[in-house]
Structure 1
Amino acid sequence: MSTRILPLGQRALLAEVPDLADVLALHARLEASRPAGVIDLVPAARTVMVRVDPRVLLLSAARAWIEAASTDAAPLLAADTREVEIGVRYGGADLAETAQLLGVSADELVARHTAARWTVAFTGFAPGFGYLVSPDWPFDVPRLAAPRTRVPAGAVGLAGEFTGAYPRATPGGWRLIGTTDAALFDPDAASPALLAPGTRVRFRPARPRPDAETTSARRDHGVHPPSRRAEVVSRSGGIEVVEPGLLATVQDLGRGGAAALGVARSGALDRGSARTANRLVGNPESAAVIEVTMGGFRAVARRDLWFAVAGAWGPIRLAGHELDPYEAHAWPAGEELHLDWFAHGARGYLAVRGGIRGPKALGSHATDVLSGLGPPRLDAGAVLEVGATPDAPIPVADLAPWGAPHDDELEIELAPGPRAEWFTASARDALFEAVWTVTNDADRVGMRLDGPELQRERAGELPSEAMVAGALQVPPSGRPTILLADGPVTGGYPVIAVATDAALDLLAQARPGTRIRFRHARQV
């Protein structure tokens, strides 16, 4: 097959092929020969993304592996893929209108949908949201002119050549033809996504449920029973939140390797500061901490604890007495800890000796604000469990020099992106010559930048393809958005460049108004 291999930062490649059939074939070959060091293998509409751990597999070796798989003429062995049957109550809000657009009756559209043999080509948009294709499906269905602000969980829809079902309530522009009660995504299950890439699917008509009100309630809160994940907020435990401030969440180092299921890495945005806070109290670096955005956080210890704060800079007060960051401090039971509003940086990390404890979602305690995975964001009255005292002692000396984050102006290194050729030469120059400003539209999903408009060389839409944290997506406005840890795993805006992995910690501390200058990353 004809394959272009495009850069996606310093740790990933995009293999671009002519059509979706070639995507499925290349993905199958890569999956069958997957070497150690491949973290994510993510098919999309015209591409397969390969993300590696460079300590195990060099990017050059990954490129050679993709090239070999692309030119392999040996026949593929029949894949041992699952086949699932999904019951659908047809009669969705758009069924009649969609049938009319396609020149068929509603009954015929349903009959075609149930007769087709579907395969999950790729996932994206939300955890467990599968894009299904079929050689038996002749229709190209236009999306809604104005997307709905809320599509209920379990809705089954059509868009383009695809069909799919919404695992949770989200906005969406697909045309809805029915609903299902199938458990589309359950992070506590051995196989979380019912519709993983390669899964074969048949749809079957389902009878209306007599307990329609109960069914509707289940769809409103997700298609599977409430997960144990919410129990990270408990009635006993070690810390009671008095005031969460602007945003406080539980974070660890994230959940890598699940992008093919539509699941972002998530985890602490400033991983270096989270690691440091943990080391200061003798925790493993991967222990869960509290990420506090912009400050204003108050909490009371329910038992004697030790804590440390790293990252953003602001007053730290325990029982009214000011303490230093980057040091371990005793936190007696009943005393209130106050992280006041930060003067420098955007995110502070509160580590407690023993770490924040609770059930994990896909191996991680991290709260993903976009997908809803992990424990809920912290509210006043939430009580968090603290783990057992670790074996490692609290360090007796400072681990490293520390100081306030530099958040007035940052220099961020950029590695090549896969779609730089979509932009004019002057736009590519402007990316590195301009001074960009972080806007108020900045959160854990991404940050929008203000600056010159980056003009395109190439018009048209980009088929959906895999994204990584640090990707600079450029929407039609011409001003980039940098995706962060909770960003979507696929997207349709071209990526002109990708911030290096080391730069992500710097970006985590950028506040609205921070100026950014981009520099070319050193070759690795």
Structure 2
Amino acid sequence: MRFLPASDRALLIELDGLRETLALFDTLRDDPVPGVLEAVPAARTILLEFQPHAVSARQLAAALWQRRARVADLLRGGGLDAAGRLIELPVRYDGQDLEALAEHLGISAAQLIELHTGHEYHAAFAGFAPGFVYLAGNPFGAPVPRLNTPRTRVPASSVAVAGDFGAVYPQDSPGGWQLLGTTPCSMWDMRRAPPALLQPGLRVRFVDMARAARSIHIPGEVQDAPATGATGEVPTAADDGTRLKVQSAGVQTLVQDLGRRGQTGMGVSASGALDRCALRAANRLVGNPGDAAVLENALGHLRLHCEQGAAVVAVTGADIPVQVLTASGRRIVAGTHRPLALDAGDTLDIGAPSAGVRCYVAVRGGLDVAPVLGSRATDTLAAVGPPPLRLGDVLNVGTLFGPGELHAVQPGEDMATRRALPRAGEALVLDVVLGPRTDWFPPETLAVLQEQEWTVTPQSNRVGIRLAGERPLLRTETLHAAELPSEGTVRGALQVPASGQPVLFLADHPLTGGYPVIGAVAGHHLDLCAQIPVGARLRFNVLEPFAEIVPPAAVS
């Protein structure tokens, strides 16, 4: 085992291969380590996100090191080869790469299909997108190369192979895997419980629809209409209670809370508010629990009309003008970080930020929006949760929370409500923890990371902040063309694609990624990342040199 820092609150465990990885993951699933929030298995790594106040990275590494014997026992007992439920997926072998891949392998297309359908795959782990499950197994005798240039669009339900894995794309997305065909099965459907058709641990066999000698069952087929609220839509307004009508939604206004945990087995990351400190502060100002659902607005110009009832609201986050337009026509300058009363007919009017990017609007009682997979957060990459607000939408306000529903501030929570926020063109320094793939880069690249200013580009969003620098981050020469097996990523990760221009991952980042991560923004600066505008200039301050984490028991 090799233990690598992935941030100041995440650890990457590197193992010899997939079987060892899944065996160790089985021990974590059956016997969780206290303080671990999330575990993301991949081809030969497990990413563990943990609570720093509950366990340190060194303590976590020590606990996992002691599980080596249990992992060895699982491998002797079968490990990945253990039997799970079998799912048969029908396939139309009409893929764009079928003939070319067969030629590359030195066989006919018919032989390739025979090999693919004659092999039993094992659903190993999820990543990339909701419902995208990596199917372990390779019947072709050699790893299948990815495309030299990934496609900008791979159609949903495409059956594909790459390396030593197979998969089915759950939705239209970019991708560089070799396409063999399509399946009529839907890999991800929010009308199902669970929505993902494939789950880690299942066995998968593909069936050629052109040669099937029997009627073909379509696994996971759903014919009923979706239940109300199943996809997190804003519900129709009730006849009584407080209602807020959207008169202007600005560039982007989303429902957010602190995110959804425990869904990585389906390829769904936590998501949630980008500035969690601001979300908690807004909720506390109106008397809500800190994790109640709020509105997250980017770049202002949000107007909410109190159509019915009365409401107590608060606005936090960006430095932004806030006014209340009363039913009688008065205009009251209200400001942020204070509770505001709205009567029926009043309008909350939020202007454009002078510093920062995102503001958060909480209303006492929270927002009455149906949860999706245990959360009301909107994940823009995964398309999970309520849709963005639009002009004319009506929000129901929930019932008031009682004192017993409030909770104490948890260790590590940032209670600050006002901070110095960046403006476009200004310079900002972010602390960085090196790892997990810092050793893919030479010392001169680490110098460039710290010494150079990086400009925030307009291609930034909730998935990540795309940065541009005069000098790219180049890999060590021997690793220039190397491919990194997909592994878990964290919020704040600085992923370095082939261009050498890094991407700073935010809350809606992909669960796994195949580009090396040179470091990650320290936890105390993560919320600040939500407020960095386009045009701002960043510098990175490395807190300490990169070093593997060596558990005490491993030191001879």
Match of 2:450 in 1: 432
Q: Verify: 1:493 aligned to 2:504, yes or no.
A: no
AA matched with 2:315: V
Match of 1:92 in 2: 95
Q: How many residues align?
A: 509
Match of 1:212 in 2: none
Q: Equivalent of 1:326, from 313, 323, 337?
A: 337
Q: Output one character per residue of 1:275-306: Cα deviation in whole Å (capped at 9) or x when no partner.
A: 10111111111011110001111222222212
AA matched with 2:427: E
User: Superposed, which structure 2 residues align to 1:217-296 within 5 Å?
Assistant: 226=226, 228-230=229-231, 232-236=233-237, 238-296=243-301
Match of 2:398 in 1: 387
Deviates more, 1:75-84 or 1:176-185: 75-84
Specify the SS of the correspondent of 2:92: strand
Identity %: 42
Q: Output one character per residue of 1:440-476: Cα deviation in whole Å (capped at 9) or x when no partner.
A: 2221111122333223223222221110001111122
Specify the SS of the correspondent of 2:381: coil
Q: How far apart are the structure 2 equivalents of 1:264 and 1:380?
A: 29
Residue 506 of structure 1 deviates from its aligned partner by 0.8
Q: How far apart are the structure 2 equivalents of 1:404 and 1:55?
A: 26
Q: How far apart are the structure 2 equivalents of 1:311 and 1:223?
A: 43
Q: Output one character per residue of 1:220-244: Cα deviation in whole Å (capped at 9) or x when no partner.
A: xx99965634453233152222221
Specify the SS of the correspondent of 2:314: strand
Q: 1:75 to 1:455 in 2, by over 3 A?
A: closer
Q: Output one character per residue of 1:24-70: Cα deviation in whole Å (capped at 9) or x when no partner.
A: 34333443443232222222223222222233333222101222233
* Residue ranges of structure 1 left out of the alignment (5+ in a row): 209-214
Q: Verify: 1:402 aligned to 2:415, yes or no.
A: no
Residue 273 of structure 1 deviates from its aligned partner by 0.3
AA matched with 2:53: R
Q: How far apart are the structure 2 equivalents of 1:477 and 1:135?
A: 31
Match of 1:363 in 2: 374
Q: 1:502 to 1:229 in 2, by over 3 A?
A: farther
AA matched with 1:447: I
Q: How far apart are the structure 2 equivalents of 1:70 and 1:484?
A: 34
AA matched with 2:172: A
Specify the SS of the correspondent of 1:442: coil
AA matched with 1:302: E
Match of 1:211 in 2: none
Q: Output one character per residue of 1:337-374: Cα deviation in whole Å (capped at 9) or x when no partner.
A: 22111111000001111111222122111111111011
Match of 1:307 in 2: 313
Specify the SS of the correspondent of 2:104: helix
CA RMSD of aligned residues (A): 3.0
Q: How far apart are the structure 1 equivalents of 2:297 and 2:303?
A: 10
Match of 1:7 in 2: 5
AA matched with 2:418: W
AA matched with 2:237: S
Q: How far apart are the structure 2 equivalents of 1:22 and 1:194?
A: 25
Specify the SS of the correspondent of 1:15: strand
Residue 482 of structure 1 deviates from its aligned partner by 0.8
Q: How far apart are the structure 2 equivalents of 1:405 and 1:308?
A: 19
AA matched with 1:35: V
Residue 169 of structure 1 deviates from its aligned partner by 1.9
AA matched with 1:256: R
Q: How far apart are the structure 2 equivalents of 1:195 and 1:53?
A: 30
Deviates more, 1:257-266 or 1:506-515: 257-266
Match of 2:474 in 1: 455
Residue 15 of structure 1 deviates from its aligned partner by 1.6
Residue 254 of structure 1 deviates from its aligned partner by 0.7
Q: How far apart are the structure 2 equivalents of 1:69 and 1:415?
A: 27
Residue 123 of structure 1 deviates from its aligned partner by 1.8
Q: Verify: 1:17 aligned to 2:15, yes or no.
A: yes
Q: 1:278 to 1:30 in 2, by over 3 A?
A: closer
User: Superposed, which structure 2 residues align to 1:462-473 within 5 Å?
Assistant: 462-473=484-495
AA matched with 2:323: R
The answer to whether the 8 Å contact 1:423/1:455 transfers is: yes
Specify the SS of the correspondent of 1:379: coil
Match of 2:464 in 1: 446
User: Superposed, which structure 2 residues align to 1:127-276 within 5 Å?
Assistant: 127-134=130-137, 136-187=139-190, 189-206=192-209, 226=226, 228-230=229-231, 232-236=233-237, 238-276=243-281
The answer to whether the 8 Å contact 1:309/1:351 transfers is: yes
Deviates more, 1:139-148 or 1:344-353: 139-148
Specify the SS of the correspondent of 1:426: helix
The answer to whether the 8 Å contact 1:234/1:382 transfers is: no
Q: How far apart are the structure 2 equivalents of 1:223 and 1:519?
A: 54
The answer to whether the 8 Å contact 2:232/2:371 transfers is: no
Residue 187 of structure 1 deviates from its aligned partner by 4.8
Residue 258 of structure 1 deviates from its aligned partner by 2.5
Q: How far apart are the structure 2 equivalents of 1:345 and 1:50?
A: 31
Q: How far apart are the structure 1 equivalents of 2:376 and 2:473?
A: 38
Residue 207 of structure 1 deviates from its aligned partner by 7.0
The answer to whether the 8 Å contact 2:253/2:389 transfers is: yes
Deviates more, 1:453-462 or 1:137-146: 137-146
Q: Equivalent of 1:509, from 531, 547, 550?
A: 531
Residue 136 of structure 1 deviates from its aligned partner by 4.0
Residue 110 of structure 1 deviates from its aligned partner by 2.2
AA matched with 1:86: L
Residue 142 of structure 1 deviates from its aligned partner by 3.0
Q: How far apart are the structure 2 equivalents of 1:189 and 1:280?
A: 38
Q: How far apart are the structure 1 equivalents of 2:181 and 2:422?
A: 52
* TM-score, length-scaled by structure 2: 0.84
Match of 1:108 in 2: 111
Specify the SS of the correspondent of 2:282: helix
AA matched with 1:310: T
Q: Equivalent of 1:43, from 41, 44, 52?
A: 41
Residue 134 of structure 1 deviates from its aligned partner by 1.8
Residue 126 of structure 1 deviates from its aligned partner by 0.3
Q: 1:270 to 1:185 in 2, by over 3 A?
A: same
Q: 1:138 to 1:32 in 2, by over 3 A?
A: farther
AA matched with 2:134: Y
Q: How far apart are the structure 1 equivalents of 2:233 and 2:51?
A: 30
* TM-score, length-scaled by structure 1: 0.89
Q: How far apart are the structure 1 equivalents of 2:155 and 2:366?
A: 36
